[in-house]
Structure 1
Amino acid sequence: MLGFLQMGLVEQNAIAGSILFLRYFDLNEKQVLGFNEFLVAFEKESARGCAVLTLCVLEDALRDLMARRMPLASESMHRNLAPPGRLDFSIENAYLIGVLSKTEMHDFKYLVKIRNQFAHNAMLSISFDDARIASFVGNLEFPKKVEHPYEGDNRTIFALSATMLYFALINRINDLERISVAEEIVMLAEMVS
């Protein structure tokens, strides 16, 4: 495991909160440095950009994980379980096929609610401190489940939960078994012949 403090990656902002949790995942140096670049880029984003782009990354990771879990089939069949533009639907289906845990599904849905507040109120100047968004952030479970829960600003808590969900997803991809397609039923007439 890498020594994040020695690498100089921990800063006093949203990056610090997220990097602290990387130690729970078995990542190589390239993955850590790549993720640090991702966090630095998101730190520079507006609140709206942070929420919207974070969910784009999570949605891609979820789609990859679901494709790994589902039987080999056409892309149109996969779209039935993970339809574009219907992330809530994809999240519930991912839970049903064993891709997401209950806590992951819970936090993912709240992250979507937060993203939607930013995306669907484009003409309003809103932030992570707005009452509705703050309420959604307060419902995130991941940041409460760690040894030393972070109790900082809402944007950092959002980033922390999203980071933990992201790494839970990418670390699970190699452990998932593909669901097999049901065997064809042998018809009685075929058994007699």
Structure 2
Amino acid sequence: MEKKYSIVIHPSPEIIASIKTMKEDLSSKIGWFNSKNSVAHITICEFKIDESQIEKFKQKLLKVCDNFTPFSVSLDHFGSYGSGAFFIGPNEDSKQNLKPIMKKTQDALQLSNLKKSSDPHISIGRKLTPENIEIANDLFTAIHMYFLCDTIILRELDPVKRQFFVIDSFAFGSNPEPEFVQGSLF
């Protein structure tokens, strides 16, 4: 049976709890919104495969994560997209560290139906009206949070609850592959 999966980075449990409180604060002002009940995360990608193939993809994730080295992520601003998403963004250094992790993970899966994320962020709410984005901007003005990015999380969609749940995690192994350098014969 085909199932939907996502690969994400979770911040620390403390940040997850803080963001849950932020979502509740926003909900008290505007009511229910998309992503209200979603656990805080940075999306790397989503895909659908037959559940019989998941072990093969876990092996790919295990291999790619072995090459990554943990690093600190600084979340330092709020922002929004034209799509109605209101989010927390990483600073520029963190963004430059997250992007290769995201790209290498996406590339390792070798899937044609991959829904990729290329701009790392943690969504507070999605599909918000411009008025609700303005309320969120007024409610949340400053943020300074840090976490250690050292694991990638594999989640499966519960079609009834319409929420993803964690099915596995893959720790960074700090074993970077040596960079291939083109040599010269002469």
Instruction: Give the structure-1-normalised TM-score.
Output: 0.25
Instruction: Give the structure-2-normalised TM-score.
Output: 0.26
Task: Kindly indicate which of the two structures has a greater share of residues assigned to helix.
Answer: 1
Flag the structure with more relative contact order, 1 or 2, with Cα contacts below 8 A and sequence separation at least 6.
2
Q: Which has the larger radius of gyration?
A: 1
Task: Kindly indicate which of the two structures has a greater share of residues assigned to strand.
Answer: 2
